[in-house]
Structure 1
Amino acid sequence: MAMIPSNVLTKAGIDEDAAIDTVGGGDINQAFHIRGKNNRYFLKWHEDPPHRFFQKEARQLSMLGNVPGVNAPEVVRFGDQYLLLAWIEGNPSPRTEEKLGELIADLHSEKGERFGFDEDNFLGTLPQYNAITDRWIEFYANYRLLPQMDEAEKRGKLPKERKKKARQLVENLHHWLSEPAYPALLHGDLWAGNWLVGPGGAPYIIDPAISYGDPAFDRAMMALFGGYSTRTMNSYEAKIKRSQQEEEILPLYQLYFLFAHLNMFGEMYGSSVDRILKRYVG
């Protein structure tokens, strides 16, 4: 087991006699299950995280947890190197999948005044840039796609033809995307690994990368790698209707996540990026 520095445990308020076990599944931070005398916690720790990495996550989790109908782990404490959360554990109930759809619909029913977000945050290990804007399509182009494309170019993953098509797509987003009815609160990284089951079979969402925007942006990530059942999606749609043009626009939003995966994990995602570019710009 990797050792957490004693000063971090002290700052986090962990009892000296608490049992500490490693938790797998993450590739950014080290994670631990803390079992004290009266409480259990989930501790994320990183020896040298980006500036305000855990502070930003703590703020976002608190924002999610304050939305009616949305469950997120309670933030207990945080510091420069750690985030301490309440431990979440439970067994699925017959309605867990439906409740998940209702939770995501409740999240997307939370309205912001404008699009974007008031501070930068992170998507995985990558910085995610934000601003407050009046137009979603402009925000998506300038603060989602273009930064990932620039990062891909820096990493040597944007050859001439891919760059040409990507720039052409960004310039013509308005041909395919429409402005949403309102700025919806988005989780921002809603793949199937970012929700878990809590007490009573209630779903909880974790690891946010939030902004205010088009709910289809979250639905694009939900569809990209699978893992969400028909029951979840039907429960979602009972509260929020999806556009008839959804299948046409989801790949445009999936392109952001695929560029991010290209930058984080390599050219294995290049063919998926190229397939979407070819679909829209030939």
Structure 2
Amino acid sequence: MLTDRVRELTGREAVRAVPLGRSHAWETYRAETADGGRLFIKALPEDGTAGADAFPGLFESEALGLAWLGRAFGSPAAEVQGWDARTLVLEWIDERPPTPEAAERFGHQLASMHLAGAEGFGADRDGYIGPLPLDNTRDAAWPEFYARRRLEPFLRRAADRGALTPADVRIVEKVVDQVEDLAGEPEPPARVHGDLWSGNVIWQDDGASVVDPSAHGGHREGDLAMLALFGLPHLDRVRDAYNEAAPLAAGWRGRIALHQLYPLLVHVSLFGAAYRTTTMEAARAALHG
């Protein structure tokens, strides 16, 4: 039973687990504990429709990624309580309405996390973005990493799915070929969340917490670009506060589309041609800066 697994992973007695719904191949729950606490649980279904062998290292990657992000001073990463191959348990976070003050605090939190840095562009283990496996092999420079580990694999997935036309593929390939020229001045690897869309930001009274990372050493503009992709409340306040703490390089606005192209290719790979138009708009905008 799920409550038994929670006890084994956390040492806390879960008196009941309330289903919250399904996301991709896993189920989510809110667990109430005998000590009056609450936990958030992600688990592969008990009916065996998605075994741990279908997503090797999925929850390990997420747990270790959150822990790594959390070691940065002021990090907004959620707290991991326990995990195994089938289950991830986090401390429950009560969400608050977003406010301008919380947005400013979140901007400072995000800057602190990014500035903690990373050993290189990539990670010491492969990961996931949603249910899709992710190659985190390190590269010495970000343009090479972004082209080889992010754009090219998901361009192939999208093309194989038939969601992009041959002409679309050629346009994205131009971005891949020119990414070094489009990337701006070199920056050191930042400690990035890697999947920072608005749904992975849980607002608090004083800032925010972040969940569901695809953590790695990357380009800090990528997290900010993803926040803009699906609309974060008070985004201007977040970016202004971020810029105060860690000023962005000249021309960053012109590179937003370049950084958004990767998550859009992921969406085309997952959901098909519904995201084709937005993806191709981003590819063309990336080429023109």
Q: Give the alignment's TM-score, normalised by structure 1.
A: 0.90
1:211 aligns with 2:208: no
Is 2:165 aligned against 1:159?
Answer: yes
Q: Contact conserved, 1:187 with 1:218, CA < 8 A, in 2?
A: yes
Aligned residue in 2 for 1:53: 58
2:48 paired residue number = none
What residue number does 2:68 align with? 63
> What does 1:54-203 align with in structure 2 at a 5 Å threshold?
54-89=59-94, 91=96, 95-198=101-204, 201-203=206-208
For 2:39, the equivalent position in structure 1 comes to 41
Could you tell me which of 235, 238, 250 is aligned with 2:241? 235
**Mean CA deviation greater in 241-250 or 132-141:** 241-250
- Which residue type is aligned with residue 172 of structure 2? A
User: 2:251 corresponds to which residue?
Assistant: 245
Taking the aligned partners of 2:18 and 2:8, their CA distance within structure 1 comes to 18
Identical aligned residues as a percent: 29
Question: In 2, Cα distance between the equivalents of 1:110 and 1:6?
Answer: 36
What number of residue pairs does the alignment pair up? 277
Measure how far apart 1:280 and its partner are.
5.0
Q: Distance in 2 between matches of 1:64 and 1:103?
A: 11
Q: Which residue of 2 aligns with 1:31?
A: 28
Compared CA separation, residues 126 and 90, structure 1 to 2 (3 A): closer
Shift of 1:59: 0.4
**Are the aligned partners of 2:76 and 2:110 in contact in 1 as well (CA < 8 Å)?**
no
Greater mean deviation of Cα atoms: 172-181 or 34-43: 172-181
Q: For the Cα contact (< 8 Å) 1:119–1:131, is it kept in 2?
A: yes
Greater alpha carbon shift after TM alignment, 26-35 vs 100-109: 26-35
Q: How far did residue 20 of structure 1 move?
A: 1.8
Classify the secondary structure of the residue corresponding to 1:44: strand
- Partner residue, 2:226: 221
What CA distance in whole angstroms lies between the structure 1 residues aligned with 2:258 and 2:100? 34
Say whether residues 1:21 and 2:27 are aligned partners.
no
Q: Quote the RMSD (CA, aligned, Å).
A: 2.2
CA distance in 2, matches of 1:25, 1:236: 33
Q: Following TM superposition, by how much is the alpha carbon of 1:25 offset from its aligned partner in structure 2, in angstroms?
A: 7.7
One-letter identity of the residue aligned with 2:39? Y
Q: 1:9 to 1:238 in 2, by over 3 A?
A: closer
Residue 108 of structure 1 and its aligned partner are, at CA, apart by: 1.2
Conserved 8 A contact 2:104-2:241: yes
Contact 1:137 1:178 in 2 (8 A): no
1:146-177 Cα shifts (integer Å, max 9, x gaps): 00011112212232111111212211112211
1:6–1:194: structure 2 CA closer, same or farther, 3 Å change rule?
closer
- In structure 1, stretches of 5+ residues that fail to align are none
Cα offset, 1:24, TM superposition: 4.5
Matched-pair contact (CA < 8 Å) for 2:121–2:189: yes
1:223 positional shift: 1.3
| Ranges in structure 2 where 5+ consecutive residues have no aligned partner | 46-50
TM-score, with length taken from structure 2? 0.88
Q: 1:234 to 1:277 in 2, by over 3 A?
A: closer
Report the secondary structure of 2:31's partner residue.
strand
Distance 2:76 2:220 in 1: 18
